[in-house]
Amino acid sequence: AISFVCAVPAQKISRGALTKMQAFVVAPSARGLGGPGRAARRRHRPQWVAQAEFDGPKIPVGVLGATGSVGQRFVQLLEDHPWFDVKGLGASSRSAGKTYAEAVNWKQAKSIPASMRDIVIDKCEPDAGNLKDCAIIFSGLDAEFAGDIEDSFAKADRAVFSNARNHRMDEDVPILIPPVNSAHIEVIPQQRKNRGYKKGFIVTNANCSTTTMSIALKPIWDAFGIDLIQVATMQAISGAGYPGLSSMDMLDNVIPFIGGEEEKMETESMKIFGKLSSSGFAPAENVKVSAMCNRVHVIDGHTEAISLKLGKAGVRPEDVIEVLDAYPPVTRGFGLPSAPHEDVTYAHEKDRPQPRLDRMTGGGFTVTVGRVRPCNIHDIRLVALGHNTIVGAAGGSILNAELCVVKGFVQR
């Protein structure tokens, strides 16, 4: 593939944080696509990609719940981030006062980032230790504790990016997925007014299985409309946190129940695909979602079997595949440094996607769709796969924070 670089007019964003933009034309490559010859079979289309360059000191950020599974993924993904510098780590009182290396039971494949090993953990309070100097707060807190703590940081002028469910359905808080509903970010001024926040705010990401489904279906939704979604998930055990389910529960087994998961998929998706107006969020109309959620013995990567009744008649599988193949790189177009080359990609192999082979496509930020075919009950059926702790959790929150920087909602 050949890349062409050209300058575009400078744009001053967020008090001079972003001062230069570059546009790239790239051809799809086999990098991260999971199989020999796959790139050659895909449609070769040029993509305009905007890469925003960050000018000035990095923004100090903190991670709450830093010793947990999602917190560890935040720490891993934020290492050497071009815009953000991890200055504070928050956890429970039993971890406070210890260095991160002393307190964490590290379970990521790569070592603890050297720049964070010796950070002393603080209590999850806005004025505590290093956290008091952080402009952005990433929350990997358990829902049992997250709600009030996140609110306290927003009241203290912090931009809070949450993985917890507590604020997702609040009428002035967006469930933000940049490649799906970036316009929902515009609710932030109203949220500040409603809650008396000055500079702070709360943005949530969706439940991990909802994120995969939403990104996979966005191109289809835009092209043909969707009247009904029937989804059965096969969700990785990392979604239950560490240590998760016992080996006696998971080995040689499938658990056909994940508490609250089905309800989350059915309600969150309606808000995500809904519209933002001056009076708040209006859920998507005339759409029904039925979810069946299962825990399977896979470490990472949620797989979803989806059947769709479309809003447009006569749509063929090849029409859906064409739309998926042609979908532009939305997050890349915003200039977000963590954005993948493709938000959604289509796997043309008959037996893909598979968690072990496809979950790290796009560094774990790309959702892979495959097996588009006719449905004998509805119109179209397909399989979607996304990395539950990257695009579906910590990585999704990082994309949300990057978008808020680009849009000027984060002040340094």
Q: Which of 208, 293, 341, 387 is labelled catalytic?
A: 208
Q: Catalytic site residue 302?
A: yes
| Strand partners for 25 | 4, 48
26, 341 Cβ separation under 8 angstroms: yes
Give the three-class secondary structure for 16: coil
Sign of the torsion angle spanned by Cα atoms 339, 341, 346, 352: negative
Question: Quick check: 121 and 95 in contact, CB under 8 A?
Answer: yes
**Integer distance in angstroms from the first to the last C-alpha of the chain?**
38
d(CA 384, CA 115): 36
- Using DSSP bridges, classify how beta strands 280-282 and 288-295 pair: parallel, antiparallel or unpaired: unpaired
Distance CA(182)–CA(69), nearest Å, equals 27
Compute the distance between CA of residue 304 and CA of residue 94 in angstroms, rounded to an integer.
Answer: 38
Q: What are phi and psi of 370, to 5 degrees?
A: -155, 180
The encoded tokens of residue 326 equal 């042609």
- What is the C-alpha separation between 38 and 30, in angstroms, rounded? 7
Nearest-angstrom CA–CA distance, 313 and 319: 12
Active site residue 297: no
Other beta carbons within 10 Å of 4: 9
- Beta strand 18-26 pairing with 226-235: unpaired
| Active-site entry in 184, 302, 341, 387 | 302
- Residue numbers annotated as active site: 208, 302
